[in-house]
Amino acid sequence: MKSGSNLEKVIKSGQPAVTAELGPPMSADAHEVIKKANQLKGFCDAANITDCQTAVVRISSIAAAYIALREGLEPVMQMTCRDRNRIAMQADFLGAAALGLKNCLCIAGDHQSFSAAGRLKGHPGAKNVYDVDTCQLVGIMKKMRDEGLQQGGDKLEVAPKFFIGASWTPMGDPIDFRPYNLKKKVDAGADFIQTQGIYDMELFKVQMEKARNLGLHERTAVLAGIIVPKSAMMLKYMDSSVAGVSVPKELIQRMLKAKDAAGDDKKKAKELQEQEGMKITVELIQQALEIPGIKGVHVQAIEWESAIEHIVKAAGLYPRPDFSE
Amino acid sequence: MIVGQQKKFDEIWEMVKGFRKVMVLGCNTCIAVCHAGGDKEADALASMLKIKAANEKVSMDVSHGAIQRQCENEFFTPVLEDLAKYDLVLSIACGVGVNFLSARIGKTPVYPGVNTQFFGGVPKPGFFEELCGGCGSCVLNLTGGICPIARCSKSLMNGPCGGTNKGKCEVSQDIDCAWFLIVERMKQLGTLEKLFEVQPPRDWSGSFHGGPRRVVVEHLRDIEEKQ
């Protein structure tokens, strides 16, 4: 065992792993984290705690992860390269490990210009860091864990033992380079991979075949990312505007049909689309788990954590394996 | 070349309006090429200041001029004495010129009329783009001659992030994804496999992050000392 985390145990056992996502609030309200943690607890093996996603200031990933851990939900803390240099990163790894955190997802992070893309003012004038990139961050964590050394070479009396994750956008541009992008993260030391949200399963199968041809499925655990669709509008937006995401027309049509079935009743339209969205999610999960080399799913119900229970049960993935002593 | 843009006139006026005798000083090298601070721009800016001063009923005597380079002693020597007679020199060179002149002019303040921006090229007339980050440790041999430090919004060293969308950067559809360009260029050169190797964390101490930098060309310094 590299970290002894629950997620690592599930993956090692050969059962399909389920991770979910918990977005911390834009306030110092611990109850929001506690509420979401209890909605997810028992229905996933670990939950990612996002690190100021879309560059918006929120409760820090480590603090929210610790609150989740206290509630009995295993967290996957996230660390972006945007906000910290290697000194702050390593200090946070030591602190997080000392608090009992065992999983970490390393990501580049959305550019700070995203923070003002919506209705928020954000901090588009912030200075970013990018002292290291994702591959380098993964390498730093691995060196700390396996060699007991800081990046600079100083020794660690007690090394932080993390199960190291990285993200992968399999269908991003330039698409023929993406399998090598994954390879670099695996070479750097990624134990598990969570992908960008996938709707186009056929194209994902092609990319996974390329990853298998490089032998990557035997060196890392790839969890297919599924973003739970809430509405036809959301699917259209993801298709047109989110990098590396393409949504097949049939899925958008299904959501539109669900919406139209409600007529002028807006509340009903929302309900029917959410139901259809959960159905689509379950189908995508089942299709993803059939792809050779896929070791689990990463289900993101963004600001809709309560949907996870139904989805996981409907997908036949409940109860989750229990490794507690 | 160094690329800059003239500051907005209102901002310049706010800086300048309290001075009576003002010299607008251009620089005829980089900053003249990007139409921000050469002799022509010095002339135009001085005229605008005169008109504004007249409209605002402010008593101001505005002159203008330009030297070949505001970053070398030899070009300043003939004009330094004259410049010291003004209440203010508004330099429309890059920030290097403002610093260089400030250190030599004595009690006269030197204010910037230009926002200095980047090291760039001129792919077509009137269009300037950032191409080099001046990071002190060049890696262009590894990246097909395309700088990931200056041209990737996250200065990534190991390939594109997840934000590449149809060859463009997540920051703006007007920005090409540097890593998209790097991959295409390396394919063209038949050296794509160079990108498969993980690049370790960089040593940034040779960049600005190591503190202000100096370059000393030893043999030139030796000649000067002998003289």
A68 touching B (Cβ < 8 Å): no
DSSP single-letter state for residue B211: S
Domains annotated on chain B, with CATH: 2-118 (3.40.50.2300), 136-210 (no CATH)
Per residue of chain A (325 residues), what is the pLDDT tens digit? 999 999 999 999 999 999 999 999 999 999 999 999 999 999 999 999 999 999 999 999 999 999 999 999 999 999 999 999 999 999 999 999 999 999 999 999 999 999 998 889 999 999 999 999 999 999 999 999 999 999 999 999 999 999 999 999 999 999 999 999 999 999 999 999 999 999 999 999 999 999 999 999 999 999 999 999 999 999 999 999 999 999 999 999 999 999 999 999 999 999 999 999 999 999 999 999 999 999 999 999 998 999 999 999 999 999 999 998 7
**Residue A18 backbone dihedrals phi, psi, to 5 degrees:** -125, 120
Q: How far is A132 from chain B (nearest CA, A)?
A: 6
CA dihedral A38, A43, A44, A49 (to 10 degrees): -30
Question: Are residues A84 and A136 in contact, defined by beta-carbon separation less than 8 angstroms?
Answer: no
CB contact under 8 A, B162 and A130: no
- How far from chain centre, in Å, is Cα B122? 14
**In chain A, what are the domain boundaries?**
6-230+283-314
Nearest CA among A54, A67, A68 for reference residue A26: A54
Classify domain A6-230+283-314 by CATH number: 3.20.20.220
Q: How far is A117 from chain B (nearest CA, A)?
A: 10
C-alpha A171/C-alpha B208 separation (Å) is: 36
What ipTM does the predicted assembly reach? 0.95
Residues shown for chain B: 227
- Substitution target in A87, A89, A107, A132 with the highest count of B β-carbons within 10 Å is A132
CB contact under 8 A, A244 and B171: no
Q: Give me the helices (H) in A214-298, please.
A: 232-241, 249-260, 266-289
Nearest to A111 among B153, B196, B198 (CB): B153
Residues 133-192 of chain A with CB under 8 A from chain B are: 133-136, 139-140, 151, 167-169, 172-174, 177, 180-181, 183-184, 187-188
- Substitution target in A84, A136, A183, A240 with the highest count of B β-carbons within 10 Å is A136
Contacts of A242 in chain B (CB under 8 A): 165
CB contact under 8 A, B200 and A139: yes
